Amino acid sequence: MTTATDHPTRVALLDAGTQLAARDGLHSVSINNIVHHANLAKGTFYVHFTDRTDYLVALHRGFHDRIWASVARVTEGQEAGRARLQRSVNAYLDGCLGEPLTRAILFDARSEPAIRNEIDLRNLAASKAISRDLKTMGMTSPAETARLVVAMTADIAVAEHEAGHKLPPLRTAMLRLVTPR
Amino acid sequence: MTTATDHPTRVALLDAGTQLAARDGLHSVSINNIVHHANLAKGTFYVHFTDRTDYLVALHRGFHDRIWASVARVTEGQEAGRARLQRSVNAYLDGCLGEPLTRAILFDARSEPAIRNEIDLRNLAASKAISRDLKTMGMTSPAETARLVVAMTADIAVAEHEAGHKLPPLRTAMLRLVTPR
DNA sequence: TGTACATCAGTGAACGCGCGTTCACTGATGTAC
DNA sequence: TGTACATCAGTGAACGCGCGTTCACTGATGTAC
């Protein structure tokens, strides 16, 4: 069955935007470019999305849903603590490496008012999960530290994405900071 | 004497852009808006700047030169180590709090290709200075950790700028991470 | 089975808008003789 | 001191461009009777 959100043309539009964002950055994801890349008429865009904001939100949700699914897969049933934190971070970073949109979402998208709110919400959720791990580990300021872990992780994700492969020195440097010696 | 770079009209144009960026974000800093805000004709812009990129670079340089001057003032003659790192970070964050452009530069500007290169260079320089402190402190991966400190500091700077005041819990959380207990 | 109508994805020309940039011009100030 | 010319910041109309969005339309498919 073809529901509203997985209609093939809608998917084609999202795919086109993903490729454009990965190649030339989020600013190149204009409706003109999207439909041209997808070999569709301009009007078709508005059959599947109410406006550009709607489209960007969909793009962002797809990205984060996939990443979070892989994080959830790895932390399922794990109790809070050092090991879970490490697993979460690694799963997140591995997920980002496989996502064409990583750079566009984590870097360019911050200035897109359309997505800003979405990003803040996701970051907050991630921060809360990490906070629980840190609390269990006996960290002094779990909430504040969790926020910093989110910032560092995003930075590493972009660095790895640009490098095209994992950067273990950065990952271990972060884990060393967060792990009491 | 009025040299090329401190010509009053040029300064007025930069001031106008600063106010616009602070109020509505970097995307609102169009040449139309700038000259309108400064009560000047559009052509005047091109008397003082070759193009928009030139203008943005000037805006960015002004920002970072002021911040770095205050960091340099505080670390002058200090030997590398924990105390200097702490002073540097605090001076940087205090400087950012007093700068209207903090949010625009540290957040929005990442997606502006014009400034990207400039930002990367400044971050690298900061990273190297911090790396020296960390090395002296016996940190295992000084270079990688320094990069993470830069990322955390930028995050805190934006958070404080949005809050409108210092956020000591965030600052101490970061210093605790970096300082061996 | 045939006819009439409804639904809906897809089309593409046209819209107004703000953008960055150009350029021929103005007018005040400085310089030469 | 007066005249001629050079310099240069400032002007604003005009340019082409790509943007997001609209809308009357097409044509295929589904539904009713």
3-state secondary structure of A103: helix
pLDDT of residue A3: 55
Q: Which residue is nearest to nucleotide D25 (CA to C1')?
A: A43
Q: What is the per-residue burial (b if ≥16 Cβ within 10 Å, else e) of A34-66?
A: bbebbebeeebbeebbeeeeebbbbbbebbbee
pLDDT of residue A174: 98
Half-sphere exposure of B27 (CA within 13 A, CB side): 11
**Cα dihedral B169, B172, B177, B181 sign:** negative
B175-to-B10, B81, B124, B168, B179 alpha-carbon distances in Å: 40, 13, 20, 10, 6
Q: Is the CB of B7 under 7 A from strand D?
A: yes
Work out the pLDDT band at A180, boundaries 50, 70, 90: low
Neighbours of B120 (CB within 10 A): 11
pLDDT of residue A1: 47
Q: What nucleotides of chain C have any atom within 7 angstroms of a protein Cβ?
A: 9-14, 18-24
pLDDT in tens, B87-97: 999 999 999 99
pLDDT, average across residues A78-93: 97
pLDDT in tens, A47-71: 999 999 999 999 999 999 999 999 9
DSSP secondary structure letter of residue B43: H
Token pair of B6, please? 């401190």
Between the CA of A65 and the C1' of D19, what is the distance in angstroms?
Answer: 30
DSSP secondary structure letter of residue A109: G
pLDDT of residue B181: 60
Q: Is the CB of B33 under 7 A from strand C?
A: yes
The torsion angle over the Cα atoms of residues A147, A150, A156 and A157, rounded to 10 degrees, is -160
Cα angle: A120, vertex B100, B76; to 5 degrees: 105
pLDDT of residue B114: 83
Which of A141, A144, A158, A166 to mutate against chain B (most B CBs within 10 Å)?
A: A144
Between the CA of A36 and the C1' of C28, what is the distance in angstroms?
Answer: 53
Which of A177, A178, A179, A181 to mutate against chain B (most B CBs within 10 Å)?
A: A177
pTM of the model: 0.94
User: Which segments in chain B show pLDDT lower than 70?
Assistant: 1-3, 180-181
pLDDT of residue A181: 60
Q: Is the CB of A113 under 7 A from strand D?
A: no
Query: Percentage of chain A surpassing pLDDT 70?
Result: 97
* Contact state of A148 with B154 under an 8 Å Cβ cutoff: no
How near does any CA of chain B get to the CA of A142, in Å?
9
pLDDT in tens, A109-157: 888 888 999 999 999 999 999 999 999 999 999 999 999 999 999 999 9
pLDDT of residue A18: 98
Query: Percentage of chain A surpassing pLDDT 90?
Result: 89
pLDDT in tens, A158-168: 999 999 999 99
How many contacts, defined by CB atoms under 8 Å, are there between A and B?
A: 82
How near does any CA of chain B get to the CA of A159, in Å?
10
Q: Is the CB of B77 under 7 A from strand D?
A: no
State how far Cα A54 lies from the chain centre.
17
B146-to-A27, A89, A150, B71, B167 alpha-carbon distances in Å: 30, 19, 16, 16, 21
Q: Is the CB of A58 under 7 A from strand D?
A: no
Q: Is the CB of B48 under 7 A from strand D?
A: yes
Distance, in Å, from the CA atom of A61 to the CA atom of A10, rounded to the nearest integer, reads 14
Nearest Cα to Cα of residue B59 among B18, B99, B97, B2: B18
Q: Which position has the higher pLDDT, B88 or A1?
A: B88
3-state secondary structure of A104: helix
Angle between helix A142-163 and B142-163 (nearest 10)? 120
What average pLDDT does the structure give for chain A? Answer: 95
Between the CA of B34 and the C1' of D16, what is the distance in angstroms?
Answer: 22
